[in-house]
Amino acid sequence: MPLGGTLTSDPPDETASPDEATPPDEAGADVPPWAAFRFRDYRLLWLAALGSFATRQLRLLVSAVWLFEETGSAEQVGLLGAVQLVMQLPALLYGGTLADRLDRRRLMAAMEVVTFAVLAVLALLAVSDRLTPAHIYLGTAITAVSAVLGQPARNALTPMVVPRSHIVHAVTTNNVMQQVAAVIAPLLFAVVAEGIGLTAAFVTAAIVAAPSVALPLLIGAVGKPETPSAPRSVLAATWEGLRFVRGHALLPGIYALDIGVTVVTFYRQILPVLAFQLFAGGAGAVGLLTAANSVGAIAGGVLVLFLARYRAKGMLVLYASFVYGLLVLLFGLSTSLIAGTIVIAGLGAADAVTVTVRQATVQLTTPPQMLGRASSVQSAAAQTANNVGTLEVGLMSGAFGASTTMLVGGVLALASTFAIWRAVPAIRDYRYP
């Protein structure tokens, strides 16, 4: 398969306006940064994803805070992460297979129905004062599965609602949207929970989830690949997807780069430890660093929009990974909260560049009938690396201190980037458009 991919858009409706139909590819055109929003179907997909990600953030926040206030146990709150990990990994691979066999619009909508129903039940239980920790764990398990079953379908639907020349822009604005949701949802939660109460926060999460049920069904593009996968068995189809990824010229190296860098540097979930050890800061420092990281990620996404015509996409991932490793070293050397805030904003930006270009490369080099499974393998690799990285960085910080952990992590991230640069020439040679 050529590295440019065989992914093509459905033939456009000659009678439809540009706002209603996906136009022919514009590979040679100067596509403006926000061009993906020209297309009605993409706007619907983007809005549905925004609601879905905001719902996920609200669900995680309200569940964790309610559980901690109810039990006073940090261990019981931590168990939420274990529940999600156990439920999500097998569901991710299965979700990719479903996305390549079913109508992706309906699959997305069905999973949003499940999420909405669970949140509505939790809200009713909270209102009637009958909510228990067991309900929270069960709700977390169900919504963790519904979230990851819908995710590959959402990723695989993007090339069906924009032409190839707009895929980088569409993936970038998707990732910017996630960062915006990561900022808006906690603020909404804080306002509702502090102003009214946690019960109202459960109700708010259910309300936010509702629009994403209908929006995917309004998308006019065909939601199912023209040539669905041949194997009838789900297990056989899943295995076919894994074999496709393994034999791909780019994807194993791209996924290995993500894992190699993330496992030794993943800092987001242990920011309270890093903030205390590096800057002697508490909740305020954690909030500042978290916000700076999200703002940096938004800036990184916007940067990718303006670099969309930069052809050496593989080298762009490697450059950003190299910068990321250097910034991890600087973060480990930081003693001032202001300096640390600036550096962690840069980390967010560099990470956003690598994530966005990796996701776009998957979509550009994978045929439509395999895209759900390729996306699910990418998500499974990323989530596994995040969880292992949280454990590794946490244990290292406890044993050797945050500064040493970040310095070692930065060196290993740079070494991983160099190793992939040397071992996978297809990445450094990849060009698009």
pLDDT for the residue 18: 37
Average the pLDDT over each of 68-77, 143-152, 168-177, 411-420 and give the range with the smallest value: 68-77
Burial track 76-100 (b if 16+ CB lie within 10 A, e otherwise): bbebbeebbeebbbebbbbbbbbbb
Domains of the chain in sequence order: 36-213 (1.20.1250.20), 233-433 (1.20.1250.20)
pLDDT for the residue 248: 92
Going by C-alpha positions, the residue among 159, 158, 208, 170 that lies closest to residue 37 is 170
Mean pLDDT of 32-52: 88
What pLDDT digit, counting tens, does each position of 142-168 carry? Answer: 998 898 888 888 888 888 888 888 888
What pLDDT digit, counting tens, does each position of 343-368 carry? Answer: 999 999 999 999 989 888 888 888 87
CA distances from 346 to 341, 403, 405 (A): 9, 18, 19
Q: pTM of the predicted model, to two decimals?
A: 0.73
Q: Are 413 and 7 in contact (CB under 8 A)?
A: no
What pLDDT digit, counting tens, does each position of 286-314 carry? Answer: 777 877 888 899 899 889 888 878 889 99
Going by C-alpha positions, the residue among 409, 428, 390, 253 that lies closest to residue 326 is 409
Mean pLDDT of the chain: 83
